[in-house]
Chain A
Amino acid sequence: MIKSIFINFKKYWFLLTQLISRDFKVKYKRSILGVVWSLLYPILMMSVMAIVFSQMFRFKVEGINYLVYLMTGLIMFNYFSEATTTAMTSVISNFTLINKVYIPKYIFPIAKCMFVGINFVLTLIPWIGIILLSYVGLGEYTCHINWYYLLLPYIFFCMFLFTVGIGLLLSCISVFFRDMLHIYGIVITLWNYLTPVFYSIEILPKKLQALFELNPLYQFLSSARSIVLYGKCPSALTLLIIGAIGIVTLAIGALVFKKNQDKFVYYV
């Protein structure tokens, strides 16, 4: 099983890179700034949000740099939201192809999650820039650069696995049930508000806090934030849990996808 996954992966790696590079070419064709947009976008987004929430609504989280708090939440949540949304439509929009050539269908949602993932990695550059700027007076408090930063790739990777799992699930469901496209649009908006992206979970009543902690995205966000903003390593249990969330979600997504993929052609 593991071996066959590995062989398949090797066999279709080139196709995967081609699909991803296609997305890049199409996205940035005829735009003058090109990839620079990937860097600018999160900064602009964050600036707008920062003005709205910290200046107008006077949001802040006691003792930490709110700008970095906000931006960490934004780029991580946006990754999840954009990757799952595009992964969801990836199978449907490649129907003509699926109906004509044999290609493993799971490659489409995975390619989308990776393409958006590369964009996510690019947004880490301005993110680190803001973290560094907090040392020279951007915002009230400084961040904490420390050795725990080496855990960040692990946290992001767990979130990636989680995202791919959800993407596989959504792309499969939406083949049989087109309304999913609209429903998920609502779900992701709600999910956005229920995830502490621009507020802190501590402003909620204790009972609600426990409920909010069940949100996998909260676990990813708070692990990254505790390292960057508090200089604290997430507990071993937390690290284990986010790993389990990633692997279990991916396994469920892959299983559901695998079970149903042969039926896709009937719904073309």
Chain B
Amino acid sequence: MIRIENVSMKFDLGIEKNFSLKELLISIFSKKKRNKKSDFWALKDISFNVDKGEVVGLIGSNGAGKSTLLKVVSGVMKPTKGKVIVNGVISPMIELGAGFDMELTARENIYLNGAILGYSKKFLEKKFEEIVEFSELRDFLDVPVKNFSSGMTAKLAFSIATVVDPEILIVDEILSVGDIKFQEKSKKKMESMIGGGTTVLYVSHSLDAIKEICTKVIWLEHGKIVMMGDAKKVCDAYYKVQMK
């Protein structure tokens, strides 16, 4: 379903966003080539397979490269080296509500965000009620999202993102959304999505949740795979190192 072969991802920290005419002139006149030391490998030679129906957990400390790996798999980024082969439609939940326009109302954002996530018009019209119902925001449908609390925005985003029956689900630390009641509900929703034979790639800091739902776990550190295999074994090893 997903085949990752020797994938490496390089960020060149030297080329910065504020590259401008001034810097161009400086670099021409100083004749100094950009030092190669600013290369930063966020992923180094990663290989693994995910079979159909497998639920794979990704763990590792902050900056390990988990989100980068998810982005490479979902096609947001092209790997610098290596190959990514994906068979099936991906539902990426890397950052919810990334496509929201704060000026627009919740109703308008459901359509906009849905379109960004690749839903068709027909699908959205059919599922509109379901999204509204799940988000518990019926009374705020015509309120601009900029007036929402962050919890409300997250609830709306979660409801739009999870209305699909995905073939491949990619989840990046998003479960702690909204109030306690909604958290329970969203956890159930995730479980039912995962349970339905979906192929899942799942990042979480909650080892309990990982142990509960994952069939296989990959432990990532500094862009490399430290350990891969049985969920409990990898989690326990990771826990030991973290607690040292």
- Quick one: which of A102, A103, A178, A267 has the most chain B CB within 10 A? A102
With A97-B116, A266-B15 known to touch, is A25 a contact of B99 (CB < 8 Å)? Answer: no
> Are B94 and A100 in touch, CB under 8 angstroms?
yes
> Are B15 and A267 in touch, CB under 8 angstroms?
yes
Q: In the complex, what's the smallest C-beta–C-beta distance from A104 to chain B, in angstroms?
A: 10
> Are B99 and A97 in touch, CB under 8 angstroms?
yes
B104 an interface residue at 8 Å Cβ cutoff?
yes
The residue that A22 contacts in the complex, of B17, B76, B101, with Cβ under 8 A, is B101
Q: In the complex, what's the smallest C-beta–C-beta distance from B52 to chain A, in angstroms?
A: 21
With A266-B11, A266-B15 known to touch, is A18 a contact of B20 (CB < 8 Å)? Answer: no
A244 an interface residue at 8 Å Cβ cutoff?
no
Q: How far is the CA of A98 from the CA of B76 in the complex (A)?
A: 7
Per-residue A-contact encoding for B178-192, CB less than 8 Å = 1, 0 else = 000000000000000
Q: In the complex, what's the smallest C-beta–C-beta distance from B127 to chain A, in angstroms?
A: 14
Q: In the complex, what's the smallest C-beta–C-beta distance from A263 to chain B, in angstroms?
A: 9
Q: Could you tell me the dominant secondary structure of chain A's interface residues?
A: helix
B120 an interface residue at 8 Å Cβ cutoff?
yes
Chain A residues within 8 Å of B99, by CB:
97, 101
Residue of B nearest to A11 (CB): B118
The residue that A100 contacts in the complex, of B15, B18, B24, B95, with Cβ under 8 A, is B95
B142 an interface residue at 8 Å Cβ cutoff?
no
> Are A102 and B112 in touch, CB under 8 angstroms?
no
With A26-B104, A101-B92, A102-B92 known to touch, is A262 a contact of B116 (CB < 8 Å)? Answer: no
Tally A residues with Cβ within 8 Å of B. 26
> Are A178 and B18 in touch, CB under 8 angstroms?
yes
B195 an interface residue at 8 Å Cβ cutoff?
no
Q: How far is the CA of A15 from the CA of B117 in the complex (A)?
A: 9
Q: How far is the CA of A221 from the CA of B95 in the complex (A)?
A: 46
Q: In the complex, what's the smallest C-beta–C-beta distance from B4 to chain A, in angstroms?
A: 16
Q: How far is the CA of A161 from the CA of B26 in the complex (A)?
A: 37
B103 an interface residue at 8 Å Cβ cutoff?
yes
A268 an interface residue at 8 Å Cβ cutoff?
yes
Q: How far is the CA of A15 from the CA of B112 in the complex (A)?
A: 7
231-268 of chain A: CB within 8 A of chain B? 262, 265-268
A179 an interface residue at 8 Å Cβ cutoff?
yes
> Are B76 and A101 in touch, CB under 8 angstroms?
yes
> Are B112 and A101 in touch, CB under 8 angstroms?
no
With A15-B115, A99-B76 known to touch, is A178 a contact of B19 (CB < 8 Å)? Answer: yes
Chain B residues within 8 Å of A14, by CB:
115, 120-121
B54 an interface residue at 8 Å Cβ cutoff?
no
A96 an interface residue at 8 Å Cβ cutoff?
yes
> Are A102 and B76 in touch, CB under 8 angstroms?
yes
With A14-B115, A15-B116, A26-B101 known to touch, is A102 a contact of B11 (CB < 8 Å)? Answer: no
> Are A101 and B98 in touch, CB under 8 angstroms?
yes
B111 an interface residue at 8 Å Cβ cutoff?
yes
With A15-B116, A22-B104, A26-B104 known to touch, is A178 a contact of B20 (CB < 8 Å)? Answer: yes
Q: In the complex, what's the smallest C-beta–C-beta distance from B221 to chain A, in angstroms?
A: 23
Residue of B nearest to A177 (CB): B19
Q: In the complex, what's the smallest C-beta–C-beta distance from B154 to chain A, in angstroms?
A: 15
Q: How far is the CA of A101 from the CA of B74 in the complex (A)?
A: 8
13-67 of chain A: CB within 8 A of chain B? 14-15, 17-19, 22, 25-26, 29
Q: In the complex, what's the smallest C-beta–C-beta distance from B91 to chain A, in angstroms?
A: 10
A176 an interface residue at 8 Å Cβ cutoff?
yes
> Are A18 and B19 in touch, CB under 8 angstroms?
no
Chain B residues within 8 Å of A102, by CB:
74-76, 90, 92
With A101-B99, A178-B20 known to touch, is A266 a contact of B104 (CB < 8 Å)? Answer: no
With A14-B121, A101-B116 known to touch, is A26 a contact of B103 (CB < 8 Å)? Answer: yes
Q: How far is the CA of A172 from the CA of B95 in the complex (A)?
A: 25
Q: How far is the CA of A266 from the CA of B42 in the complex (A)?
A: 12
Chain B residues within 8 Å of A22, by CB:
101, 104, 108, 112
Chain B residues within 8 Å of A18, by CB:
111-112, 115-116
With A14-B120, A97-B99, A100-B98 known to touch, is A267 a contact of B17 (CB < 8 Å)? Answer: yes
> Are B94 and A101 in touch, CB under 8 angstroms?
yes
With A18-B115, A178-B20 known to touch, is A100 a contact of B103 (CB < 8 Å)? Answer: no
Considering the complex of A and B, which 3 residue pairs feature the smallest CB-CB distances, nearest first? A18-B115, A100-B98, A179-B21
Residues in chain A within 8 A of chain B (CB atoms): 14-15, 17-19, 22, 25-26, 29, 96-103, 176-179, 262, 265-268
10 A-B residue pairs with CB within 8 Å: A14-B120, A18-B111, A19-B115, A22-B101, A25-B104, A29-B103, A96-B98, A101-B117, A102-B76, A266-B11
Beyond A25-B108, A99-B71, 9 additional contacts (C-beta under 8 Å) are A15-B116, A15-B118, A19-B115, A100-B94, A101-B74, A102-B76, A262-B78, A267-B15, A267-B17
